[in-house]
Amino acid sequence: MNSIRWQVSCFLILCLAHSTVAQTIPAAPGGTTRLYGYTTKSSAAQREWEKKFQDGIVPANMRNSMQRLAARPHHVGSPYDKDNAEWILARFKESGFDAHIESFQVLFPTPKERVVEMLAPTPFRAKLQEPVLAIDPTSNQTAEQLPTYNAYSIDGDVTGPLVYVNYGRREDYEDLDRLGISVKGAIVIARYGKSWRGIKPKVAGERGAIGCIIYSDPEDDGYYNGDDYPKGGYRPKEGVQRGSVMDTDHPGDPLTPGVGATPDAKRVALSEAKTITRIPVLPISYADALPLLSALTGPVAPEPWRGALPITYHVGPGATKVHLKVVSNWDSKPVYDVIATMRGSESPDQWVLRGNHHDAWVNGAEDPISGMVTVIEEARMLGKLHKQGWNPKRTIIYCAWDGEEPGLLGSTEWVETHREDLQKHGVAYVNSDGNERGFFDAGGSHDLERLINDIAREITDPEKDISVWQRARLYAISKAKDQEEREKIRKRADIRIGTLGDGSDYTPFLDFAGVSALDIGYGGEPDADAYHSIYDDFYWYSHFLDPNFVYARALAQTGGTTVMRIADADLIPYEYAGLADNLAKYVTDLEKLLKDKQEEFAERNLELTEGLFGAVADPTKTSVPPPHENVPPFMNFAPLKNGVEAVKKSAERYQAALANAQKDGAKDIPSSDLAAVNLNLMTIQRTFLTQLGLPRRPWFKHAIYAPGAYTGYGAKPMAAVREYMDEKKWAEADAQVPALGKVLQDVAVAIDSATDQLEKAAAHP
For residues 75 and 359, is the Cβ–Cβ distance under 8 A? yes
Nearest to Zn ion of 410, 643 (CB atom): 410
Q: Does 410 bind Zn ion (CB under 5 A)?
A: no
Q: How many residues does the chain have?
A: 765
Residue of 165, 731, 236, 211 lying closest to 533 (CA atoms): 236
Closest separation in Å from C-beta 3 to Zn ion: 7
Side chain identity at residue 295, one-letter code: A
Nearest to Zn ion of 559, 643 (CB atom): 559
Residue of 686, 653, 48 lying closest to 428 (CA atoms): 686
Closest separation in Å from C-beta 708 to Zn ion: 20
Which one of residues 136, 221, 288, 367 is an interface residue with Zn ion (CB under 5 A)?
367
Nearest to Zn ion of 84, 341 (CB atom): 84
Residue 625 per-residue DSSP state:
P
Closest separation in Å from C-beta 357 to Zn ion: 6
- Beta-bridge mates of residue 528: 233
- Burial 67-87, CB ≥16 within 10 A → b, else e: ebbbbbbbbbbbebbbbbbeb
- Beta-bridge mates of residue 38: none
404 is catalytic: yes
Closest separation in Å from C-beta 404 to Zn ion: 6
- How many Å apart are CA 592 and CA 600, to the nearest integer? 12
Q: Name the catalytic one among 102, 366, 404, 723.
A: 404
Closest separation in Å from C-beta 115 to Zn ion: 29
Nearest to Zn ion of 1, 640 (CB atom): 1
Close Cβ partners of 735 (under 8 Å, ≥ 6 residues apart) = none
**Is the dihedral angle over the CA atoms 356, 360, 364, 365 positive or is it negative?**
positive
Nearest to Zn ion of 368, 392 (CB atom): 368
Q: State the binding string over 322-361 for Zn ion (x if CB under 5 A, else -).
A: ----------------------------------------
Q: Does 368 bind Zn ion (CB under 5 A)?
A: yes
Nearest to Zn ion of 92, 713 (CB atom): 713
For residues 177 and 315, is the Cβ–Cβ distance under 8 A? no
For residues 761 and 570, is the Cβ–Cβ distance under 8 A? no
Nearest to Zn ion of 244, 347 (CB atom): 244
Peptide bond into 121 cis (omega under 30): yes
Q: State the binding string over 569-608 for Zn ion (x if CB under 5 A, else -).
A: ----------------------------------------
> Stretches 23-31, 254-262, 341-349, 426-434: which one binds Zn ion (CB under 5 A)?
426-434
- DSSP-based three-state secondary structure for 135: coil
Closest separation in Å from C-beta 150 to Zn ion: 16
> Stretches 2-10, 343-351, 666-674, 683-691: which one binds Zn ion (CB under 5 A)?
2-10
Burial of residue 483, with CB atoms counted within 10 A of its CB: 0-12 exposed, 13-18 middle, 19 or more buried:
exposed
Nearest to Zn ion of 1, 189 (CB atom): 1
Nearest to Zn ion of 217, 433 (CB atom): 433
Stretch 691-750 residues interacting with Zn ion (CB under 5 A): none
CA-CA-CA-CA torsion for 230, 232, 236, 237, nearest 10 degrees? Answer: -110
Closest separation in Å from C-beta 359 to Zn ion: 8
Nearest to Zn ion of 1, 165 (CB atom): 1
- How many Å apart are CA 32 and CA 695, to the nearest integer? 49
- How many Å apart are CA 91 and CA 75, to the nearest integer? 20
Q: Does 494 bind Zn ion (CB under 5 A)?
A: no
Which one of residues 433, 436, 494, 581 is an interface residue with Zn ion (CB under 5 A)?
433
- DSSP-based three-state secondary structure for 66: helix
Residue of 693, 271, 251 lying closest to 505 (CA atoms): 251
Q: ∠ CA 427-430-474 to the nearest 5 degrees?
A: 120
- Beta-bridge mates of residue 118: 124, 322
Closest separation in Å from C-beta 528 to Zn ion: 16
- Beta-bridge mates of residue 214: 190, 283
- How many Å apart are CA 151 and CA 154, to the nearest integer? 9
Burial of residue 671, with CB atoms counted within 10 A of its CB: 0-12 exposed, 13-18 middle, 19 or more buried:
middle
Q: Does 2 bind Zn ion (CB under 5 A)?
A: yes
Closest separation in Å from C-beta 169 to Zn ion: 23
Peptide bond into 230 cis (omega under 30): yes
Q: Does 406 bind Zn ion (CB under 5 A)?
A: no
Cα end-to-end distance, the chain, whole Å:
49
- Beta-bridge mates of residue 204: none
Nearest to Zn ion of 407, 708 (CB atom): 407
Nearest to Zn ion of 107, 365 (CB atom): 365
Q: How far is CA 111 from the centre of its chain?
A: 26
> Stretches 126-134, 336-344, 432-440, 522-530: which one binds Zn ion (CB under 5 A)?
432-440
Nearest to Zn ion of 1, 661 (CB atom): 1
Q: What are phi and psi of 559, to 5 degrees?
A: -65, -45
Helix, strand and coil percent figures for the chain, each rounded to 5: 45, 15, 40
For residues 108 and 77, is the Cβ–Cβ distance under 8 A? yes
For residues 701 and 514, is the Cβ–Cβ distance under 8 A? yes
Closest separation in Å from C-beta 532 to Zn ion: 9
Closest separation in Å from C-beta 402 to Zn ion: 12
- Give the residue nearest to Zn ion (CB): 2
Interface size with Zn ion, residues (CB under 5 A):
5
- How many Å apart are CA 554 and CA 345, to the nearest integer? 28
> Stretches 20-28, 425-433, 684-692, 730-738: which one binds Zn ion (CB under 5 A)?
425-433
Residue 339 per-residue DSSP state:
E
- How many Å apart are CA 127 and CA 254, to the nearest integer? 30
> Stretches 167-175, 368-376, 675-683, 691-699: which one binds Zn ion (CB under 5 A)?
368-376
- How many Å apart are CA 149 and CA 406, to the nearest integer? 11
> Stretches 96-104, 186-194, 224-232, 433-441: which one binds Zn ion (CB under 5 A)?
433-441
For residues 371 and 551, is the Cβ–Cβ distance under 8 A? no
Closest separation in Å from C-beta 330 to Zn ion: 23
Closest separation in Å from C-beta 113 to Zn ion: 27
Side chain identity at residue 357, one-letter code: H
> Stretches 205-213, 366-374, 647-655, 695-703: which one binds Zn ion (CB under 5 A)?
366-374
Phi-psi label, residue 403: left if phi above 0, alpha if psi -120 to 50, beta otherwise: left
| Catalytic residue positions, numbered | 404
Give me the residues that bind Zn ion (CB under 5 A), please: 1-2, 367-368, 433
